[in-house]
Structure 1
């Protein structure tokens, strides 16, 4: 199975049209059709369903699309890494980030490194622990940022300088907005929004025996999206301080949880990494800065 064939396949999967895909990747339609037919023969599976004016992926095609995207990303990354191995002025670093205002510390370190090595390029993706560690384990990321203590059997880490503070975001006219802090009993009977990861970890640790009396109205990976639902009065968002703008203008307030609940933030990497020179420089810099 050739990388070129997978690139052709992904082009057709994106465009859902053979002619448009052929134009996009600058090959003839017969060449593209022949390549895809060979790919189907090689795998022994039908990858596309042909329609009158379009094509769609079969279940097997959707599986290959997911795998091919990772393979192409890895191939592109390997190519870039070898090009920049001897380039002392730059290179690429790939980060997977959780949500936290403390990302500002990471941004500061990236700015410092960029000033020293102008050719340095950084790539940022966002997600929860499951999403970013999956990409890290596949070799698609150099570093990941987690809001929970990492598996020290697999990863080394440095801790960010501060801890994130948990609280409740709600409309300014909500009855609980009058309180200075929010206790577990205040949230019983209230529709709540939270990330699925935090609902299964941090919130039970804070709520204790009363956790079973809390109601998750919906889960969000991004706090900003959850805040829009809170803004409409659909529920109370449980999230970190500083992630959502709370002001008179947008009609939202943040009230810290009581007793105080915090989460540490960690920058992690594999115990036995194969870093590029620029990633090595970044790691040495951030170890010095964060310690």
Structure 2
């Protein structure tokens, strides 16, 4: 069995198309077909079934794909570790994060790190809470910011680096828009603009409203903090957003009011795969982040 056969197999499995896989691999279609055929002969099984112009993995092909991806992933990491051993300053860090942290936090920490290590490259991947955990577990990213921090998950490990307050956002014309602070219960009769299902901020806001004694009436849903802000500014309702979501400005900005009761917060953590040693360049970045947030948390 050759490494090339595994690489061709995985590419065909991902694209479900031999011709497209050959184009991605920059080789002839006949070469891909030949290597797949040789691999099937060596294993004594069919890995693909024809489905029109596409191909589909057989059940045993699906099983073999998981193993092949693990093998190729381990090989990639081994090559990366060798390069980093020779010079960790030219490595690559694969970083995952939710959209809400991509506005200010991620650019801030990456810029600060690159001042110290200008040749280190980054590959970014945004996602929602479940997909970020999955990306870490599946080795699609080395390390990820996540919110809230997953307290119980045997597949990932990490630490909370920041606790952030959530604020009420209201239309400028709202009766409470000029208030210094409000109780969340004062919004019990309002229409709420919330993130859709699957976004981590939604249950945080929902649970806070329940603690304040009411169930929020959801009138509109959005997928980005900018959308939530815009809808609130346009008078469609009220919402709660973390402070970091306020750094981005536009012509449609709502009023921001502190919530005195209950105090609504979210945790922001760093996660990585459990039981796995980080590549050297990623360890450098991880150590930098821990120190960075220690300094931030000590600031008045």
TM (normalized to structure 1)?
A: 0.71
Where does the alignment leave 5 or more consecutive residues of structure 2 unmatched? 295-300
Contact 2:47–2:61 (CA under 8 A) maintained in structure 1: no
Deviation at residue 204 of structure 1 after TM alignment: 0.7
Structure-2 separation of matches of 1:39 and 1:95: 34
Deviation at residue 172 of structure 1 after TM alignment: 4.8
Deviation at residue 136 of structure 1 after TM alignment: 2.5
Deviation at residue 251 of structure 1 after TM alignment: 5.6
Deviation at residue 61 of structure 1 after TM alignment: 10
- Going from structure 1 to structure 2, the CA distance change for 1:140 and 1:25 (only over 3 Å counts) comes to closer
Equivalent residues in 2 for 1:138-287, closer than 5 Å: 138-151=138-151, 155-157=157-159, 159-160=161-162, 163-169=163-169, 172=172, 175=174, 178=177, 180=179, 181=182, 183-188=184-189, 190-194=191-195, 196=198, 197-201=200-204, 203-208=206-211, 210-211=213-214, 213-216=215-218, 222-227=224-229, 236-243=238-245, 249-250=251-252, 252-259=254-261, 260-269=263-272, 272-287=275-290
Contact 1:81–1:92 (CA under 8 A) maintained in structure 2: no
Give the aligned partner of residue 136 of structure 1.
Answer: 136
- Going from structure 1 to structure 2, the CA distance change for 1:92 and 1:183 (only over 3 Å counts) comes to same
Give the aligned partner of residue 24 of structure 1.
Answer: 24
Q: Deviations over 1:71-94 (max 9, x none)?
A: 455543443232222214331222
Aligned alpha-carbon RMSD (Å) = 4.4
Match of 1:151, SS?
A: coil
Contact 2:230–2:252 (CA under 8 A) maintained in structure 1: no
Match of 2:135, SS?
A: helix
TM (normalized to structure 2)?
A: 0.69
Contact 1:192–1:218 (CA under 8 A) maintained in structure 2: yes
Equivalent residues in 2 for 1:107-118, closer than 5 Å: 107-118=107-118
Structure-2 separation of matches of 1:39 and 1:229: 55
Where does the alignment leave 5 or more consecutive residues of structure 1 unmatched? none
Structure-2 separation of matches of 1:56 and 1:225: 40
Contact 2:16–2:54 (CA under 8 A) maintained in structure 1: yes
Contact 2:194–2:222 (CA under 8 A) maintained in structure 1: yes
Give the aligned partner of residue 55 of structure 1.
Answer: 54
Structure-1 separation of matches of 2:67 and 2:171: 44
Match of 2:148, SS?
A: coil
Match of 2:124, SS?
A: strand
- Going from structure 1 to structure 2, the CA distance change for 1:36 and 1:278 (only over 3 Å counts) comes to same
Deviation at residue 133 of structure 1 after TM alignment: 2.6
Match of 1:148, SS?
A: coil
Q: Deviations over 1:83-137 (max 9, x none)?
A: 2222143312222223445974554443343233333112222233332233323
Give the aligned partner of residue 289 of structure 1.
Answer: 292
Match of 2:123, SS?
A: strand
Structure-1 separation of matches of 2:248 and 2:188: 19
Matched residue count: 285
Q: Deviations over 1:194-214 (max 9, x none)?
A: 254333345314531635x32
